[in-house]
Amino acid sequence: MRLAGRTAVVTGAAAGIGRAIARRFAQEGAHVVVADVRGDAGSSRDGGPPTTKLIETEGGLATFVQGDLTDPAQVTELFDRTLEVSGRIDIVVSNAGVFRGSPILDTTVEAWDADMDLNLRSQYLVNRRAVAEMIGQREMDGIRGRIVNMASQLGVTAPPGHLTYSVAKAGVAQMTRQLAVDYARHGIIVNAIAPGRVITGYHAGEADYVADGTVDAATEYSLQRTPFPRLGRPEDIAGAALFLASDDCTFVSGHLLMVDGGWTAY
């Protein structure tokens, strides 16, 4: 119960990494506000129940808010709804985004703008509102709030063909550092997680890999590059997020936590 009595907003929480984080936070006692543009339909890839229903079945407390976080008005609705049900926002995990990209000559202006909106603008909007709310909150042991942004290993490395995603995630990492510096004296802790290859069922070939170990070319490449003898799981990222959101994290801010099985250390 490391988050008992806390309210946590987790974006992109209907499936994958966000779903695992929301579930772990609820298991640790947080009231989790599950936010997703797709609706709380659960993960169609794992056939599970909606995230809020899963949390409630396990004895946790969850509220769902649907919204497009590239839209400032819908970000406002998310935070207003959270304040209505809780009165306070202790933790924000800005996880929503989409993995796609192409080399620059194959990237249209429209594709660039769309990917930057989804992977960088949305996090800017969420962070901006989170800071605005947290800065005026009552301190709890010297901390007014914690923000955890989802960056990526691809914001540090440059595998071929992922221009927009890599640039956006590098921007998330830099925004995290900037906010940590700007608002540390206000008691706001801001960090980011940079996952490596995590098996969520989103990418082609992952379902076969999970089912029977069948490895396609992309998965084989990731396995070869990862020193740890497996690829990541959503629960690996949830554990890292829990540390950054908990009272164990009191003097760590502006940090990019690599959760990649040693890929970037190699």
Distance of CA 34 to the CA centre of its chain: 12
Among residues 124, 165, 183, 209, the one annotated as catalytic is: 165
CATH number listed for the domain at residues 7-202+232-265: 3.40.50.720
How many Å apart are CA 91 and CA 144, to the nearest integer? 9
How many Å apart are CA 49 and CA 43, to the nearest integer? 7
Q: Please report, for the chain, how many H helices and E strands are present, in that order.
A: 9, 7
pLDDT the model gives residue 41: 61
Phi, psi of 113 (to 5 degrees): -65, -40
pTM (two decimals): 0.94
Of 35, 43, 110, residue with least CA distance to 75:
35
Residue 219 DSSP symbol: H
How many Å apart are CA 135 and CA 55, to the nearest integer? 29
H helices within the chain, ranges in order? 16-27, 51-57, 72-86, 109-116, 122-134, 163-183, 206-212, 217-225, 234-245
Task: List the domain boundaries for the chain.
Answer: 7-202+232-265
How many Å apart are CA 91 and CA 137, to the nearest integer? 12
Pair 167, 108: CB distance under 8 Å: no
For residue 257, the cross-strand partners are: 193
31 conformational bin, left if phi > 0, alpha if psi -120 to 50, beta if neither: beta
Positions in the chain short of pLDDT 50: 44
Query: 202 an active-site residue?
Result: no
pLDDT the model gives residue 151: 98
pLDDT the model gives residue 112: 96
pLDDT the model gives residue 178: 98
